[in-house]
Structure 1
Amino acid sequence: MVWLHFIFLFAIIIYAAKLGGIGVGMAGGLGMAVAVFIFGIPPGPMPLDVILIIMSVLFACSVMHVAGGMDYMIRVASHILRSNPKYINILAPAIAFTLTIFSGTGFTTMAILNVVQEVAKQNGVRPSQPLTSAVVASQIAISASPISAATAAMYVVVEKMGVSFGDALMVILPAGLFGAAVASLISAFQGVDLAKDPIFQQRMKEGLVSMTSKEELEKPLPKGAKLSVGLFLVGVLFIVLMLLFKQEIGHTLGSRDIIVITMLFISMLMYWFCDVKLTKIKESTIFHGGYESLIVILGICWFASTVIEIYVPSIKEQATVLLGQYPGLLALAFFCVSALLFSQGATSALLVPVAASLGCDAPMILACFVAVSGIFVTNVYPTSAFAVSCDDTGSYMGKWSGSFVINHPFFLPGCLGLVAAIPFGFLLASIVF
């Protein structure tokens, strides 16, 4: 029966990957129905802590979005890029990484990609280089952000192991930054310069490339835009400080309660002082996308934990020995599942509790955590696809067309970035713990 259950588990995960998006959650619901009503498996624990954290953070981001805060951050990023065009291959990934760290979502990067490709081609830089590095940096940054869904799902587990938030950040933040830096360095050497690229030259002759600036007249931001960003960042800082200095302050609150309370309170402050209309919040694209992520995590993670939990005692001993000999297998599992599900948050919520139940200690989980960023394996993830679509120079065409699924500029930098980041994570974990 055990083989039937696990074959069914992998079949549902593969089907979920085929559906994508909110369909992943629906596939989890299908799996739960069969597991509970046909196989007679008792329902496992719902990932409620993770869902509540994600819900509150996304709500605060939605309020900031409505207040114009996201537009303000993107405008600042665009000014930096246009003012320093010679350093586009450094600034593009650095800005993407920073935006993702503070917002908890990589989709903010999409707003600067058009500016990146425009500045790059006007300065003779192959656009696929900074575009790729920005996208991969934003994807890796999710594993280093203190307020991302993936980090929230991970820390809920390691917090119960006695790991402080500061210790966790001292591993995941430098490891993510190192991985993004390596990926950016690799991407900067991919492909020939535009002047030597026959595809670009041909597209120029055909009039398919625009070399004029598309910078639009800046519309005035809502009066509460800057303040909303300030309030949100103060909220993030408060959360980090409350978790970092838990013993010094002397409180007993868990990460879930601190994050949920703070995000809801900050949302109210933005409503009071940033001229936010309540009816507009639910219309935010962040609000809509957030609801999708909640369904994904509820469905597929609840289903996986339900099936796996009943077999934990029987496989724990073997898994502990195997992971003890080959700790990199945990990173490989993180990588493969994230590439399959296209979600760092869902991967973290799915596998970190499983890893803990199988005997993986906190240092191993933290060292391998950056590997949940394997969503660049194919170039169909929204940020990757948008980077390709916004480039009119042809720098993603030819040998980089992705016609064989993985032969695209995102694959090699992303993989080498993680290959470098994981050993670095183990080094950091050995020092911290």
Structure 2
Amino acid sequence: MDALKIALELIVVLGAIVMGTRSSGVALGLWGGAGVAVLVFVFREDVGSPPVDALLIILSVVLASSMMQAAGGIDWMVTIAAKLISKRPKQITLIAPLVSFLFAVGAGTSNILYPLLPVIYDASYRNGVRPSRPLSLSVVATGVALACSPVSAAMAAMVTLTDVEPYNFELIDIIKITLPAAIVGIVLSSMVVNRLGKNIADDPEIQARIASGELLAPSAASANGPGAVELKSTTQGRNAAIIFLLGVAAIVIFGLFKQIRPEAADGSPMGMTPIIEMMMFLVGTLILLVCRPNVADVPGSTVFKAGMVSAIALFGLAWLTDTFISAHQELITNTVGDWVDAAPWIFALGVFLVCVLTTSQSTATRTIVPIGLAAGLAPGLLTGMWAGAFAGIYLLPTNGSQIAAANFDESGSTKLGTKLVDHSFFIPTIVLAITTIAAGMVFGIVLG
């Protein structure tokens, strides 16, 4: 009878995730909350704990980053990134993903990639590099970047799970594993991706379009064609970006040096959760005072909208999974613990698959990481695998940045495919996931 009950509850959990995924966006949160209601009222389970700390971090970060965007800070960061990408066009399959990755780490969002896409296309095509190579890897790299950013929603979810007894695995402990692992993964992946597809000169489809006049030859092409994004670099935007990045740096410093933190009520150094929240509120206030953005623009900004959607999705699904896991803690711990002991990569596969299903790194974190921790997986090893598995959100060609990359690629080399596995992002996703997970496991064992 107990086995049947657990099976039915698991069906409810998986069904809520599937239904939320089909509708996407805030529907993930709605279906998650509905699933909690079913577990509590139908199966009479105790209600789990909603991810309050993670939500508060997300809200504070989204507010600060939205203020930065309203002041023009995102545009300023993108213009700097575009200059870096254009400096070494022949190595763009490596440079573009690394720059996109680092700027996504600093901004805490993958949305910074959108205005960079036409820059990457133009720089690659004009220099004879097949555009699908840097475009595809740049897209996937920004997904992994959120495991390295002190101000991403996924990191907020992770910190609130690991920076507690008995793990005491803080923000800086996570970043010192995920950041080098992701960079190693991107460098190794670029070597593979740089061999994918035919060169422009050897691609009959591209050459036919050039011959017909439909497409300009690489030497005559420019970024001023359809889809090009014109950005303005302003002093106001520069100041907003600098204030935001200084706030990010301050969070890292507080993470590194516990002795400079305020004391908690018990005399121990204050945890990083309230420090992140306070620093982001301070950053947003400084941007308001120094840069004078139009506050009315904040709720309509892309960063604010994406952040609110992430928070709602995390709220519902994380609450659902916590309710289910808490009700069957011992069984899940023993069963999954045996699997993880036999093959630790099973944890990475779990995060990867939830990323595929939900296209949300923060949801995957709150869903699978508690299981891995409860199963006894060492926090360092778990963290290394967690980072690489984030590439999974691009396994299927359904993400907005994938669609945008294909649309910006006027050569047609970046494809969304027709069979779910024949798109330009499939191999970069698999390769970056494997290389980053492998590097993360090494760094996790050594540094964890």
1:405 aligns with 2:411: no
Structure 2 counterpart of 1:171, from 167, 177, 181: 177
1:384 aligns with 2:396: no
1:114 aligns with 2:123: no
Match of 2:333 in 1: 316
Percent of matched pairs sharing the same residue = 30
Q: CA 1:249–1:282 in 2, change beyond 3 Å: closer, same or farther?
A: closer
Match of 1:193 in 2: 199
Q: Which moved more, 1:417-426 or 1:264-273?
A: 417-426
Give the C-alpha shift of residue 217 in structure 1.
10
1:328 aligns with 2:332: no
8 A contact 2:325–2:332 mirrored in 1: no
AA aligned to 1:225 is G
Structure 2 counterpart of 1:350, from 367, 382, 389: 367
Structure 1 counterpart of 2:309, from 289, 292, 300: 292
* SS across alignment from 1:9: helix
1:225 aligns with 2:237: yes
8 A contact 1:60–1:232 mirrored in 2: yes
Distance in 2 between residues matched to 1:21 and 1:219, nearest whole Å: 28
Q: CA 1:315–1:220 in 2, change beyond 3 Å: closer, same or farther?
A: closer
1:396 aligns with 2:414: yes
After TM superposition, the structure 1 = structure 2 runs for residues 363-374 of structure 1, keeping only pairs within 5 Å, are 363-370=380-387, 371-374=389-392
Q: Which moved more, 1:355-364 or 1:38-47?
A: 355-364
Match of 1:73 in 2: 77
Match of 2:249 in 1: 237
1:20 aligns with 2:20: no
Distance in 1 between residues matched to 2:229 and 2:279, nearest whole Å: 36
Structure 2 counterpart of 1:282, from 295, 299, 317: 299
Q: CA 1:218–1:41 in 2, change beyond 3 Å: closer, same or farther?
A: closer
8 A contact 2:136–2:414 mirrored in 1: no
AA aligned to 1:173 is L
Match of 2:148 in 1: 144
1:260 aligns with 2:277: yes
Distance in 2 between residues matched to 1:129 and 1:220, nearest whole Å: 27
Gaps of 5+ in 1: none
Deviations 1:260-304 (CA, angstroms, capped at 9, x unpaired): 100001111010010212222222121111111111001111112
Give the C-alpha shift of residue 196 in structure 1.
0.9
Distance in 1 between residues matched to 2:445 and 2:87, nearest whole Å: 41
Q: CA 1:315–1:130 in 2, change beyond 3 Å: closer, same or farther?
A: closer
AA aligned to 2:436 is A
Distance in 2 between residues matched to 1:54 and 1:323, nearest whole Å: 30
Q: CA 1:241–1:313 in 2, change beyond 3 Å: closer, same or farther?
A: same
Match of 2:443 in 1: 428
AA aligned to 2:273 is R
State the TM-score, normalized to the length of structure 2: 0.91
* SS across alignment from 2:213: coil
Deviations 1:46-81 (CA, angstroms, capped at 9, x unpaired): 001111111111111100001111111111122233
* SS across alignment from 2:173: helix
Give the C-alpha shift of residue 220 in structure 1.
5.1
Give the C-alpha shift of residue 250 in structure 1.
6.6
* SS across alignment from 1:224: helix
Match of 2:95 in 1: 91
Q: CA 1:86–1:206 in 2, change beyond 3 Å: closer, same or farther?
A: same
Q: CA 1:208–1:305 in 2, change beyond 3 Å: closer, same or farther?
A: farther
Give the C-alpha shift of residue 152 in structure 1.
1.8
Q: Which moved more, 1:402-411 or 1:80-89?
A: 80-89
Give the C-alpha shift of residue 85 in structure 1.
2.4
8 A contact 2:49–2:322 mirrored in 1: yes
Distance in 2 between residues matched to 1:344 and 1:57, nearest whole Å: 16
Distance in 2 between residues matched to 1:404 and 1:147, nearest whole Å: 35
8 A contact 1:97–1:138 mirrored in 2: yes
Give the C-alpha shift of residue 248 in structure 1.
5.9
8 A contact 1:140–1:180 mirrored in 2: no
Give the C-alpha shift of residue 128 in structure 1.
0.3
Distance in 2 between residues matched to 1:314 and 1:214, nearest whole Å: 57
Distance in 2 between residues matched to 1:168 and 1:92, nearest whole Å: 25
State the TM-score, normalized to the length of structure 1: 0.94
Structure 1 counterpart of 2:34, from 24, 30, 34: 30
Match of 1:246 in 2: 258
Deviations 1:156-215 (CA, angstroms, capped at 9, x unpaired): 211111224332222111111112222222211101111111111122234332453234
- The CA RMSD over aligned residues, in Å, is 1.9
Structure 1 counterpart of 2:355, from 333, 338, 350: 338
Deviations 1:381-422 (CA, angstroms, capped at 9, x unpaired): 11111111111112135xxx5211012221112212221222
Match of 2:430 in 1: 415
8 A contact 2:261–2:270 mirrored in 1: no
Q: CA 1:218–1:323 in 2, change beyond 3 Å: closer, same or farther?
A: closer
8 A contact 2:64–2:244 mirrored in 1: yes
Q: CA 1:46–1:70 in 2, change beyond 3 Å: closer, same or farther?
A: same
